[in-house]
Amino acid sequence: MAENTERADAFPFIGGCLCLDFANTVRWHASDHPGERLIDFSHLVRWSRSAGILPEKEANRLARSAAVHSARASAALSRAVKAREAMYRVFAAIAHGRRPDKADLDGFNKTLAESLARSRICPTEVGFAWQWAGAEDAWDIVLWHILWSAAELLTSKAMRRIGQCADDRGCGWLFLDISRSHSRRWCEMKDCGNRAKARGFHARARAATAS
Ligand SMILES: [Zn+2]
165 CA → ligand 1 middle, Å: 5
Give the pLDDT confidence score for residue 169 in this predicted structure: 92
The HSE-up count of residue 210 (CA atoms within 13 Å, CB side) is: 6
Give me the amino acid identity at 166: A
Of 13, 15, 10, 14, the residue nearest 150 (C-alpha): 15
The pLDDT mean for the chain works out to: 90
Q: Give 22's pLDDT tier (boundaries 50, 70, 90).
A: very high
Q: Which residues of 102-111 are buried (b: 16+ CB within 10 A; e: fewer)?
A: eebbebbeeb
145 CA → ligand 1 middle, Å: 25
157 CA → ligand 1 middle, Å: 24
The structure's pTM equals: 0.88
